[in-house]
Each structure stands twice: as C-alpha cells, then as structure tokens.
Amino acid sequence: MDPWRTAIATADATNIWIRGHEITSLMRERTFTDAIVLLHLGRIPTPGERKLLDAILIGVCDHGAGAPSCAAARIAASGNRQALSAAVAAGVLTIGDEHGGAGSTCMEMIAAGLAAGTRDGLAADAAARRVVEEAVAAKRRLPGLGHRVHTTDPRVAALFEMARAEGLAGDGIRFMTALEAEAARRIKPLPMNIDGALAAVLHDMGFTPPAGRFIFIVGRVAGLTAEVAEELTRERPMRIKFDVEYDGPPPTE
Amino acid sequence: MDPWRTAIATADATNIWIRGHEITSLMRERTFTDAIVLLHLGRIPTPGERKLLDAILIGVCDHGAGAPSCAAARIAASGNRQALSAAVAAGVLTIGDEHGGAGSTCMEMIAAGLAAGTRDGLAADAAARRVVEEAVAAKRRLPGLGHRVHTTDPRVAALFEMARAEGLAGDGIRFMTALEAEAARRIKPLPMNIDGALAAVLHDMGFTPPAGRFIFIVGRVAGLTAEVAEELTRERPMRIKFDVEYDGPPPTE
Amino acid sequence: MDPWRTAIATADATNIWIRGHEITSLMRERTFTDAIVLLHLGRIPTPGERKLLDAILIGVCDHGAGAPSCAAARIAASGNRQALSAAVAAGVLTIGDEHGGAGSTCMEMIAAGLAAGTRDGLAADAAARRVVEEAVAAKRRLPGLGHRVHTTDPRVAALFEMARAEGLAGDGIRFMTALEAEAARRIKPLPMNIDGALAAVLHDMGFTPPAGRFIFIVGRVAGLTAEVAEELTRERPMRIKFDVEYDGPPPTE
Amino acid sequence: MDPWRTAIATADATNIWIRGHEITSLMRERTFTDAIVLLHLGRIPTPGERKLLDAILIGVCDHGAGAPSCAAARIAASGNRQALSAAVAAGVLTIGDEHGGAGSTCMEMIAAGLAAGTRDGLAADAAARRVVEEAVAAKRRLPGLGHRVHTTDPRVAALFEMARAEGLAGDGIRFMTALEAEAARRIKPLPMNIDGALAAVLHDMGFTPPAGRFIFIVGRVAGLTAEVAEELTRERPMRIKFDVEYDGPPPTE
C-alpha cells in the first residue's frame, strides 16, 4: 500500500504537529476554536474570527433533548449503555439534509449565487434577489429560512451583530439578509434560521460549503455528549416508549 | 409517552437556554470551551480551567491520518462520499477502550484509588503506589501509561505545567505522577500518555469518569471533520487498498 | 504495512471464495442462512440447523417501529434523508447490553455455568440451579428472563419445539429451561425471552458467546432496512416530536 | 406525541406480527430470506424469487477483509473492542455511492430508462441503448459496469442464469444486458458488476430503487459480523498501522 498523503497532522516518537504547528505551542497559546479553524483552513483565526466561530459553535451545540440528533443519541444510550461512542455516533448520524444540514446547502447557494452575480455585474443583494426569483419560478424551497420551533431564531441577529461589530460582515451576510427580505416579499415571511446565518458567516470567513455541515457536527457533538451523560446518569435503561399504531394488513391465520 | 425530563437545554418559539443561560448571552460572551464545560458541569469554568480544557481538546484533536479513528473516517468517506456525517461517525465509533478510551478508565482508577486512600488515611501519592502494587500482584495493566507511537508524549508535561501555573494541580495530578514513577520502579519505565494526563486534570476539575471519553470525542471530532474534508477534496474514491493474505481452508471444488 | 491475515473470504480478478467455497456455488446451491453459518462457523449447517437459524433470524428481525433500534433508525432517517446507511447504522448502534444484547451475556452464562457444572459432575439442569442460587445470593439479575412487552414471549416455545423436533436440543436448552423454572421458584415467575432462547440454541449449535449479539444484529438489520424504507416513503421529514420538560436551573438574566 | 403509524410490524403482550403474519408461523415455515422479502414487499416470495434473493445476499455478503466496509469495521473493532455493534455500524457507514451503492443508482437508471422507453414505444434493449447514448453525450459514468478488482465478475452470469432458469428474467435483465453490450461498443468493454446484476434482478422482482442499497446492507452485515468476530478473536488491539506521508506546511517554531 502506498503511504497516505496528508497536510493536516503528523506525529513522531516525541512530537505532534497540526498543520505545521507544534501541538504543545497550540495547547499553551491557543483555544480549541483556534484549533478548529486551523484544522479546516490551515491558519490561526484573527480574534474577531475566533469570536464568530465560538458563537456559531455555541449556537448549534444543543437545542433540547427532543432535537432529532439528541433524541437518537438518547435512545441509543438507553439500549446500549456500555458504548458511549455508539450513542454519540447515533446522534451524529441524524444530522443531515433536514436536520443541521441546511448550512452546507445554503453555503452552496451563496457561493453559486454570488459567483453568478459577479459574472453579471450584480452586487450581493441583487444576486440574492435573483436567486429568490429563480426559486419562485422553479417552486424550489430556499435553504436557511424558517424553523419548526422558532418564529424568530434569536441566534441570527446575535451572530450578524457580532460579525458587523468585528468588521467581518461581507457578501455572505449581505446575500442572506437580502434573500430573507426578498423571500418575505415574494413568498412569505420566513425568518432566517441559524443554518442560514452560520452559512453566511462561514462563507465570509473563507470556508467552503461542506464546512456548514462539519462545523455544525463539531458544535452539536458537545451537546450530544452532555445529553448522553445525562441519559446514563439520570434515567433507567430502555425507559423510552413510543405509541405505535399498526395500520397494515390484518393478522393472517 | 411521558415528557422527557432534562436539565441541559430547552427552547421555546423565540429563545434557547443552555443550563439556564440564554444562548445569545453565551454566544456574545463565552467561548465554545466554556459551553462544553457548562454543558457537562453546569457551570462556567474559571479562566484557568478554560485554558486547561482548551489544552486538552487541542491535545487530542488529531494524531495523523493513520490514527485508527482518522483512518476509519477516511475509509468510510472513500466509499460513501455523499454522507459527511457517516464518515465522521465511523471515526467516532473507533474510539473505545483501546483508542482514546483510556481516559475514562484512568479516571475510574484515580477516583477509586483516591477514595480508598482517603478511607485508609493515605495521601494521593501513597494511594497511587498502592494501586501499582495491587496491579503488579494481579498482573493487571495500568491505564494511562505507554503509547504505541510516542516514547515521550509531549502533551503530558505541557498540560501538567499549565495546571500548576494556573494553581489547578490537585490530587489527580499528584496521583498520576506518583503512579508513573512507581510503575517505572516496579514494572518498567512507561511514560504517561495524554489519556493519563487528561484524566488527572479532568478529575481535578470535578468531572466524573465518563467525561474522559466524552471530552476525547469532542476534541477528536474536530480533527475527524478535517480528515474527512481532506479525503473528499484531495483523494479519489475507493483509493484505499489493503494487502490481504488468505490463510483459511483451501478452495473447494 | 504487513498484509492482513484472514480465513474468511478472499477474491481475485475472476473469483471470490467464502471460507474456501466458491461464491457462485454458494449462490446456486445454498441459502443466505447457510452463508451466515458458514461465515461464522466455517461450515455449512445441516438442514435442521439451518431451520433453527432461520427461525432465530426471523424471530428477531423486527418488533415494531417503537423498539429502540427501530425508533433510532427512524429518527435518523427523518433528519438525514439522503443517507440510507446512516439510518440503518443508527439502529444498529442502539443494540447493546439492554436491547438485543442479552443473547451474548446469556451465552456466556450458559458456557460458564455448564463448564463449572462439568468440573463438579453436575448435569445441565443442576448447573443451572446452582447459577440461580449464586445470582440470588449476589442479588444479580439473570439474563434471558423477562420482557418489557411480553408476558409470554411466543418465540421461545416455537424455537425450543423446533430444536427438539430436529433432534438439536442439547445442554444449552436444558440449562435455560432449568434456569427459568428455578428462577420462577426462587425469585419470581419471569418467562424466558427470545434472547435466552436464542442463546440456548446457538450454544447447542456450537456458536461462541459474541454470536448472540452478531446474529441478533444480522436479523434486526433486515427489519431496520424495512423501517427506514417505510419512514422515507410514508412520512415527511422531521415529523417526530418529543415532549420535553426542562427541570434544570431557572433562566439567568 | 401522536402515535407512529406503521404497516410493518406490531407486537402485543403475547404475540408479534410481521406484515400481518404471526411470527411463530414465519419461524416454523419460512426462511430468513422469505422474511426479508416480506418485510420489504409485503408478500412471501415464490420459491424462484427466494432462490434469487438468496443468491444476491450471498453474492454481496463478503469480499475479503480489505473491502472498504470490512476494513472500516476491523479498524473500529481494533480500537473499540468492547462494542460489537459499533464496529459493525462503522462497516455499514462505509457503504455508499462508491461502495455497494451502485445498486440503487442502477435501479433508478433502469426504472427511468424503461419508463422513458415505454413512453416512446421502445423495448428494453432499445431503451438501454438510448441511455448509453445519452451518457456518452453527457460524458456521464454508467452505474453497474466495471469493478476495481474483477476483470469478470463471476456473480453476474451466475445470477442471470438462475433468473432465466427460474423464468424470472424480465425487462431489468434485458435492459442491463443491452446496456453492457452497447457500452462495450461505444465506450469500452466494461463487464457488468454485481451491483448492476442485482439491480436488474431486484427491478424484475418489483423492488424500488432504494432496495438496491438496503439489500446490499443486509447481505454485507452477515460478512461484517464475521470479519469483526475474526478481528476480535485472532488479532491484538490496535494492530493496524498505516504509512502516512505528511506533505503540508513545514513545522513552525
């Protein structure tokens, strides 16, 4: 087998480097959030960028025991009590297109919408309006808008205010802000959700679309571990019951 | 179904609280590492504690593409390229008793060793020496010592120095330091590894043993997401090949 | 890297062998259940053994959408609709000590109980009575007895009758039957469950204890795939909601 | 929470039904493969259909320890030795678009190609030729052809011969056979692989496209459990090592 190539991390008998940075220097001088940015972008973030990423990771870390990822992790922990990793993984597996996954889809929309806009000489807000127009014509749902629990998602304003205060609000935020307004005008008022907001900010920091999913996972795993810990210490095994109504073919003889 | 009880997180139509803290306050004022401690211990860490937990999370975030968790995540990504969560989860599932799992076992040993010591009026170092003695008698392996790659694990000294500098070195660190010395004397020189070191520090911060596993998972997921991202952008599908030698029954006719 | 050794399967440019059997011969002449036994025991089962293993695999294949493994798979499918493997895996991860895992624990008890009995000249039923006595003394729960849904588990009698009809009832079945009777006498009437019954039969067929878990997984995955398929075709995304009651610290200002 | 609706399985205090069939009748009279078809299609297969599905499940059950799903399961088992479910799940997670996933993509192509053909009065072989033509024009890869290990996949001929012998070869087989021939003529000789063959047969049996993935998973899980069992009994923990070559930024000071 050929050796695997990697530019991320390496270790020898007495040391470890992350993206070329000695691990003990990072441990002494940096925060975990710095390391997350370093792992993904290959550079240490500025203090403002670190603040924004901290806010994003906190913003998605947990949403209550009934959020699908938390619920799946708890059910797994309830049946399989000796395997902590398994329960956390079951929660991670619940993160996808419909739950925690809109971030990456939204980042694809932002990147494509802005690129098309640039080709045609449109600024970010005009580019966003065109994307709404196309979605209306194609009867396509727009990612990053609406939430099944929140009428207003408080994390959106907090995140955008922080980005503006740090001087880090760029075309991503302009695009998503215009998209929300135009969708409200042409479709219906659908407040932006955290996925739309983090997509805007991550775009402006230079992340590529898959990061929308990856960063959500990193943040949510913090909450999943706490949910699993609570399940194991506070609840008895197999306590979760569901009402099920069978409506299939009647019993055969 | 009865409602699920939880003391971790809750959300309503316009807000989210983590352990009673409004999410937007946390986003504005805290770091992700603060939130991790808050989720697990129900309190905001002191600046020194936060520094130590940052160091632990950075210390375990990645160990090269060939670490079992990273390798499993890459192989999953190589075969299943559309499912980012699946590849990260495959990596998480590789974390267990033999890989990244010694932390929790070690925390159990520290807690039990110190408790038994307290009952018999032994200080932390004497309690550790007794645990080594019992392990030698029972021919039991001691968790937290030795590493398959490192002759010296550089993260150990860095972490303990930081703990001492912050005035946070307690009985956990005393116990593990004495354990390493006594094991070297009675068994063979086996330098402490990061699992042993993080177990000592997490014990001193008030975490219970399962946190040894949970915190490792949270840190490593940062690296796993970067490993999967690199696999997907840099490598072609199904590129990983293994040499396999069949030594079972010969082919039948 | 040294080549991996294996005695299970091998492939070259034009053929594949499973335990030395050419794959196309197996495809033409054998059933899937034969292949499962071949993979695990290295031999083709007798017709009677195949019938018993078919019965076990059918017996555990599904238990309704509310069984923890099925529920976790459905929740994962509900949030992550593009990743079929992820949803099935989330179901698998829910299988553990408390759900579907008693089979392997029970097989360990049978193997150890019978071995200790043999050393002391006890037949299977006497060996089982001693195990109950020891469990009563140690206040230890006995695996394989009781079920949270069934007052009588119909699969037990069916399986044991089939084993007897095929002349395959051995010490495993004698042990578990005696265990159930003695536990009813000394503790309380706790009818044997499918885990206890499959443990007895798999023991009598020559499987080792981990097979109790593995065979359960193989059978249940059939049901999990059907549950996930139904979730994806019949239900809308994110339809699963939980009532959650927060009882942690009150909101801070 | 509203009760969950399901037409698959249900249980009460003394019985279980799968698709309306009493579980003990199924255990006594049917094979596991019958149950798999019943779970997915809601009907007991004919003897010929059962034979074909047995052949498919056997055909995909294992492909050697180095197949990505088997390798990921072994690496997980090597690091996390106490969690059997976790290792099997890691293997399942490796099954996706590039590994074991072509079956469902291929079934979509067959269904769409035949439906378009029917609209335009084309028989199955002409419909397949048109799909090849379109793929050539669009420079799109055709699923179900080619294999990284096999120059000829022996399972294809075995399966198609069995389908013909049982009188069950329909438009799916005609479509894939014509596709292979036309692709050889217009692109290059790319022999059909097992994914293409099982897609054809499952289509002809009335399965919908996702079954291509689900049936592969059910079959492969049999092999994954055997691979994990061998890893745990035969190998020491953490024995798997990879050569990794770091080519990222040089170490910083």
D167-192 pLDDT, tens per residue? 999 999 999 999 999 999 999 999 99
By CB atoms closer than 10 A (0-12, 13-18, 19+), residue D41 is: middle
Q: Tell me if B210 sits within 8 A of A232, measured CB to CB.
A: yes
**Among chain B residues, CA nearest to A33:** B32
What mean pLDDT comes out for the span B82-108?
94
Which residues of chain D fall short of a pLDDT of 70?
1, 253
C-alpha A183: how far from chain center: 22
* Best CA proximity match to B81, nearest among D61, D68, A68, D245: D68
Cα Rg of chain D, angstroms: 21
- Look at B10 and C85 and tell me if their CB atoms are within 8 Å: no
Partners of B237 on chain D (C-beta within 8 Å) are 97-98
* Structure token digits, residue C9: 């399967």
* pLDDT value of residue D229: 97
| Residue C2 CB partners (closer than 8 Å, separation 6+) | B243
Q: What single-letter DSSP state applies at residue B94?
A: T
Chain C residues inside the 8 Å CB shell of B17: 246, 251
Name the nearest CA neighbour of C33 among C227, C225, C219: C219
CB contact under 8 A, C64 and A244: yes
For A7-33, b/e burial (b = at least 16 CB within 10 A) is bbbbbeeebbbbbbbbbbebbbebbbb
Classify residue D157 by its DSSP letter: H
C4-6 and B244-246 strand pairing:
parallel
User: What Cα–Cα distance (Å) separates residue C166 from each residue in A151, C35, C161, D87?
Assistant: 64, 20, 9, 34
Burial class (CB in 10 A: 0-12, 13-18, 19+), A122: middle
Q: Encode A137-170: b = buried (16+ Cβ within 10 Å), e = exposed.
A: eeeeebbbbbbebbeebbbbebbbebbeeeebbb
Mean local confidence (pLDDT), B51-60: 98
Report the length, in residues, of chain A.
Answer: 253
Residue of chain A minimizing CA distance to C100? A79
Predicted confidence band at C2 (pLDDT cuts at 50, 70, 90)? confident
Q: With beta carbons under 8 A apart, name residues in chain B contacting C73.
A: none
For residue B253, pLDDT over 80 is answered with no
Phi/psi-derived region of residue A226, left when phi > 0, alpha when psi is between -120 and 50, beta in every other case? alpha
Q: Looking only at Cα atoms, what is the longest distance across chain D?
A: 72
**A34 contacts: CB under 8 Å, gap ≥ 6:** A26, A44, A45, A50
The two structure tokens encoding residue C135? 């469990």
Largest CA distance in chain C: 73
Chain D residues inside the 8 Å CB shell of A4: 242-245
Task: Give the position of tokens 């495959």.
Answer: B90
Say yes or no for a CB contact (<8 Å) between A31 and B54.
Answer: yes
Least confident piece of the model among A86-90, B81-85, B179-183: B81-85
pLDDT of residue B1: 65
Q: Do B54 and A229 touch (CB under 8 A)?
A: no
Distance in angstroms (rounded) separating the CA atoms of residues D215 and D33: 11
Contacts of B203 (CB under 8 A, 6+ apart): B107, B110, B111, B170, B171, B172, B175
Q: What is the dihedral of CA B182, B187, B188, B189, to 10 degrees?
A: -20
pLDDT-based confidence at residue B82 (cuts at 50, 70, 90): confident
Q: Is the CB of D246 less than 8 angstroms away from the CB of A10?
A: yes
- Environment class of B42 (CB within 10 Å of its CB; exposed 0-12, middle 13-18, buried 19+): middle
* CA B136 – CA B116 distance, rounded (Å): 18
Token couple for B106: 């070690």
Whole-Å CA distances, D69 to B78, C230, D216: 10, 25, 11
Residue B134 to residue B113: CA distance in whole angstroms: 11
Helix (H) or strand (E) run with residue D79 in it: helix D68-79
Chain D residues whose beta carbon lies within 8 Å of the beta carbon of residue C86: 93
CA nearest to B175, candidates B240, B233, B109, B228: B109
Alpha carbon B89 to chain centroid, angstroms: 16
Nearest CA-CA distance, residue A128 and chain B, Å = 26
Does the beta-carbon distance from A32 to B226 stay under 8 Å?
no
Chain D contacts to B (CB-CB under 8 A): 1, 64-66, 68-69, 71-72, 75-76, 78-83, 86-87, 89-90, 93-101, 148, 237-238, 240-244, 246
Task: Confirm if A27 and B158 have CB atoms less than 8 A apart.
Answer: yes
Alpha-carbon distances, residue A226 vs A1, A230, B48, B220, C238 (angstroms): 40, 6, 22, 16, 22
D6 to A86: CB separation less than 8 angstroms, yes or no: no
Residue B23, token pair as written in the block: 């999410």
The predicted pLDDT at position D1 comes to 65
Question: Quick one: closest CA in A to D16, which residue?
Answer: A251
| C244 three-class SS | strand
Residue type, C197: A
Q: CB C61 to CB D4 under 8 A?
A: no
In A, which residues are within 8 Å of D89 by CB distance? 86, 89
Touching C (3+ Cβ pairs <8 A), the chains are A, B, D
Residues 6 or more apart whose CB falls under 8 angstroms from that of A249 comprise: D7, D19, D20, D42
Dump pLDDT digits (tens) for C231-245: 999 999 989 888 899
Asked if residues C232 and D210 have their Cβ atoms less than 8 Å apart, the reply is yes
How many angstroms from the chain centroid is the CA of residue D41?
16
Residue D219 to residue A229: CA distance in whole angstroms: 34
Chain C: give the shortest CA distance to residue D119, in Å: 25
Question: What's the whole-number mean pLDDT along residues B165-192?
Answer: 96
Q: What chain D residue is nearest to B1 in terms of C-alpha separation?
A: D1
SS3 B65: coil
Average pLDDT of span A134-155: 92
pLDDT tens-digit series, residues B56-66: 999 999 999 99
Closest to D18 (Cβ–Cβ): which among C36, C62, C225? C62
Among chain C residues, the shortest Cα distance to D225 is held by C214
Residue D205: the pLDDT is 97
What does pTM read for this prediction?
Answer: 0.96
**Number of residues that this document lists for chain B:** 253
Residues of A with CB under 8 A from a CB of D: 1-10, 17, 19-22, 25, 42, 80, 82-83, 85-86, 89, 93, 242-252
Contact A245 D6 (CB under 8 A): yes
Query: Per the structure block, which two tokens stand in for A176?
Result: 């998503």
Partners of D94 on chain B (C-beta within 8 Å) are 75-76, 78-80, 86, 90
Q: How high is the pLDDT of residue B36?
A: 98
Q: Do A240 and C71 touch, CB atoms closer than 8 A? A: yes
D neighbours by CB contacts (3+ pairs under 8 Å):
A, B, C
Closest by Cβ to D238, choosing from B95, B99, B246: B99
Taking 90 as the threshold, does the pLDDT of residue B193 lie above it?
Answer: yes
Residue among B1, B49, B41, B47 nearest B21 (CA): B41
d(CA A83, CA D90): 14
> Which stretches of chain A sit within 8 Å of chain C by CB?
1, 64-66, 68-69, 71-72, 75-76, 78-83, 86-87, 89-90, 93-101, 148, 237-238, 240-244, 246
Distance between B68 CA and the closest CA of chain D, angstroms:
6
Span B188-205, mean pLDDT?
96
Chain B residues lying within 8 Å of D242, measured CB to CB:
65-66, 71
DSSP D121: T
Average pLDDT, chain C: 95
Chain C nearest-CA distance from B15, in A, is: 11
Suggest the residue from D93, D95, D230, D246 to mutate for an interface test with chain B (most B CBs closer than 10 A).
D93
| Chains touching B by CB (3 or more pairs below 8 Å) | A, C, D
* pLDDT-based confidence at residue C253 (cuts at 50, 70, 90): low
**Smallest CA–CA distance from B214 into chain A, residue:** A225
Q: Which residues of A touch D8 (CB under 8 A)?
A: 248
User: Tell me, what DSSP letter sits at residue C99?
Assistant: B
Asked whether the beta carbons of residue A82 and residue D82 sit closer than 8 angstroms, the reply is: yes
| A97 pLDDT above the threshold of 80 | yes
Q: DSSP 3-state assignment of C6?
A: strand
Question: B57 to chain C nearest CA, in Å?
Answer: 25
């099920």: which residue's tokens?
A244
Residue contact D93–B94, C-beta within 8 A: no
At B28, the amino acid letter reads R
Q: What are phi and psi of C171, to 5 degrees?
A: -65, -30
Alpha-carbon gap, residue A25 to A172, rounded angstroms = 33
CB contact under 8 Å between D63 and C16, yes or no, is yes
Question: Does residue A82 have a pLDDT over 90?
Answer: no
**DSSP state, D209?**
T
SS3 label, residue D126: helix
- In 3D, which of D218, D194, D219, D220 has the Cα closest to residue D72? D220
Nearest-Cα distance to chain C for A5, in Å, is 15
Confidence bin at A48 (pLDDT 50/70/90): very high
C-beta of residue B127 within 8 angstroms of C-beta of residue B113: yes
- What does the pLDDT read at residue C244? 92
Is the distance from CB of D49 to CB of D168 less than 8 angstroms?
yes
Q: 3-class SS at C101?
A: coil
Mean pLDDT over residues B163-192, rounded?
A: 97
pLDDT greater than 70 at residue C222: yes
Question: Which residue in the set B94, B238, B244 is minimally distant from D75, CB to CB?
Answer: B94
Chain B residues within 8 A (CB-CB) of chain C?
A: 1-10, 17, 19-22, 25, 42, 80, 82-83, 85-86, 89, 93, 242-252
A253 pLDDT exceeds 80? no
**Of the candidates C252, D217, C187, the residue with the CA atom closest to the CA atom of residue B29:** C252
Q: Which of D93, D100, D244 lies at the smallest CB-CB distance from B66?
A: D244
Average pLDDT, chain B: 95
What is the number of CB-based contacts under 8 A between chain C and chain D? 273
pLDDT score at A1: 65
Q: Give the confidence band of A149 by pLDDT, cuts at 50, 70, 90.
A: confident
Task: Tell which wins on pLDDT, D151 or B201.
Answer: B201
Q: What is the pLDDT of residues C133-187, one digit of tens each?
A: 999 999 999 999 988 888 899 999 999 999 999 999 999 999 999 999 999 999 9
